[in-house]
Amino acid sequence: MLHRFANPTRFLRLADIIQPWAAGLTIILTLTGLYFALLASPGDYQQGETVRIMYIHVPAAWMALFCYTALAVASGVALIWKHPLAGLAARATAPIGAGFTFLALVTGSLWGKPMWGTWWVWDARLTSVLILFFLYLGYMALQDAFDDAERGAKASAILALVGFINVPIIKFSVEWWNTLHQPASVVKMSGPAIHASMLTPLLLMALAFKAYYIWLMLIRIRGEISAMKVRALRMRQVHGGEPTAVSGPAKEGAD
């Protein structure tokens, strides 16, 4: 199964099936989630209407961790088994994950100002998420930092694998250290500590972001495959095109 979709043609056939469904689910889930988040759900008794920021912030933070996990797994597969599409998947995931992380940081600051009285605090959760953002940027920078694309891919894959240690740190930071950030209220052994009227838009937006990730990742992988084909065509033209161009007119003149 690992190498079944190493063939770009086979992968693109599968993408043709998945992509419209991912796009449709993204639109439907986003519209439904925003309806529940902005209109159907009540304000919080402590946070008031500011709680609605959480319906974007929390799913974005979840996706920041999910994307980096996917990035690390794809990088490991590409590094160990030399799977070509795994490397493309990692490359496609990085900017999407960086976008979700940036969104989580911005919305967290917007929520923190009225709740904590400050835009930013250097506590464990916020600092580790900021480090995650820099890891995404570092991965993308290393991809194009070398003249040899293979060296860049290897260096960025190693960074992704080493940086994965930050994911459990982010997850458990509110339990390991005393921070201003509230502890987990959805994924708990005792069940969610949040009312269904607020849990519904939260989960709908989380699913919408997940569908958006799949949709956008497939688009980006398609772009990477097309770019590879263009580069291969140019290389063939450089190494083998000139003799063909000369022999063509010569043959026509001889005729």
pLDDT of residue 189: 44
Domain annotation covers residue 141: yes
Long-range pairs, 161-168, Cβ under 8 A, ≥24: 161/72, 161/75, 161/76, 161/79, 163/68, 163/72, 163/132, 163/135, 163/138, 163/139, 164/68, 164/69, 164/72, 166/68, 166/128, 166/131, 166/132, 166/135, 167/65, 167/68, 167/69, 167/72, 167/132
The CATH number of whichever domain residue 88 belongs to comes to 1.20.120
Residue 84 banded pLDDT, cuts 50, 70, 90: confident
CB 55 within 8 A of CB 37: yes
| Percent of all residues in the chain with a pLDDT value above 90, rounded to a whole number | 56
What pLDDT, on the 0 to 100 scale, is given for residue 115? 85
More confident site: 224 or 44 = 224
Whether 61 is covered by a domain: the verdict is: yes
Q: Which amino acid, one-letter code, is at 23? A: A
Residue 1 lies in a domain: no
Question: Is residue 248 one of the residues assigned to a domain?
Answer: no
Instruction: Tell me, yes or no, whether 251 lies in a domain.
Output: no
CB atoms within 10 A of CB 178: 7
pLDDT at position 3 is 62
CB atoms within 10 A of CB 186: 15
Query: Of the spans 3-17, 25-39, 76-90, 191-205, which averages the highest pLDDT?
Result: 25-39
In angstroms, the CA 34 to CA 186 distance is 19
Question: What is the number of structural domains in the chain?
Answer: 1
Closest CA to 5 of 66, 72, 81: 81
- Rounded CA-CA distance 6/10 in Å is 8
Which among 68, 89, 81 is positioned nearest to 160, based on CA atoms?
68
Choice among 7-21, 67-81, 95-109, 188-202 with the minimum mean pLDDT? 188-202
Residue 91 Cα to chain centre, angstroms: 10
Domain annotation covers residue 3: no
Q: Which of 43-52, 92-101, 151-160, 239-248 has the lowest mean pLDDT?
A: 239-248
pLDDT at residue 187 greater than cutoff 70? no
Q: Is residue 226 part of a domain?
A: yes
Which segments of the chain does DSSP mark as H helices, in order? 8-35, 54-81, 84-116, 124-143, 149-163, 166-176, 196-236, 242-254
Quick check: is 78 in a domain?
yes
Q: What is the pLDDT of residues 106-118, one digit of tens each?
A: 999 999 888 888 8
Full residue range of the structural domain in which residue 133 is found? 8-235
